Structure 1
Amino acid sequence: MPLSEHEQRMLDQLEHQLRTEDPRLATQMADTRRDPVPVKRVVLGAVLAVVGLLVIVIGVANQLVPVGVLGALVVGAGIFLVTTRPRGGRAAGADRPGPGRGGRPGGGRPEGGRPGGDFMGRLERRWDARREQGD
């Protein structure tokens, strides 16, 4: 449900106040956008972790230290896959505007040079434009 004009104005004022009082916190809040981890990556990581645990059990049962170490590495790789996000690729940037997708010319980079622009920056520009219209 979209915000009313009054609610949007209040939100803009709160965000502007946050940026002026604590710019470091505002920057941290703006940079916390996380893309979801792809399901295939989670499933592969979980399978690797389970296989690694089985390899550890086999290594311990047969008193083979190198096999146990190999199992621990496989578990670590599985956990790494589950807890990290892929870099680049289609999944990470599919929702960002760019050339040919109705975005800005030059790959969707605003005057600040940051890809796609940041949320707080867009809100601040909107706030400044509204203040200029009111004067």
Structure 2
Amino acid sequence: MPLSEHEQRMLEQMERALYAEDPKFATALEGSGLRTYTRRRVYQAAAGFLVGIGLLMAGVMIPDQIWISLVGFVVMLGCAVLAVTGWRKAPKPGDRPAAQGAAGGPAGRQPRQKRSMMNRIEDRWQRRRDEQGH
């Protein structure tokens, strides 16, 4: 459901206030750092998957060393899970995932500080709604 014009303006005001208050944090919310992080994570998982295949093959070729194959399988499975979860969490190039950036972005903030900022934003939002009589 698209936002109304009033909601769009309110959102733009909140974005401008966020950029004015903490530009570094606002930039982290844009998602470019998150995209890079998830892409790197998927590449690392793919490399780990190849290492797991190598261990699996080595365990099959070396007699009486089946445990190497088991370790290779576990490495492959773990890396496949990491790659799939990283791929699903990766934002699309045109998206602006503010909620995802706040939760997992490399902003370097303490959770208490994020919450207090969110509380301030919510308080401002509530004040504006009250001023307009909604």
TM-score where L is the length of structure 2: 0.44
> Which structure would you say has the larger Rg?
1
Return the structure number with greater relative CO, CA threshold 8 A, min gap 6.
Answer: 2
**Alignment TM-score, normalising by the size of structure 1:** 0.43
Higher helix share: 2
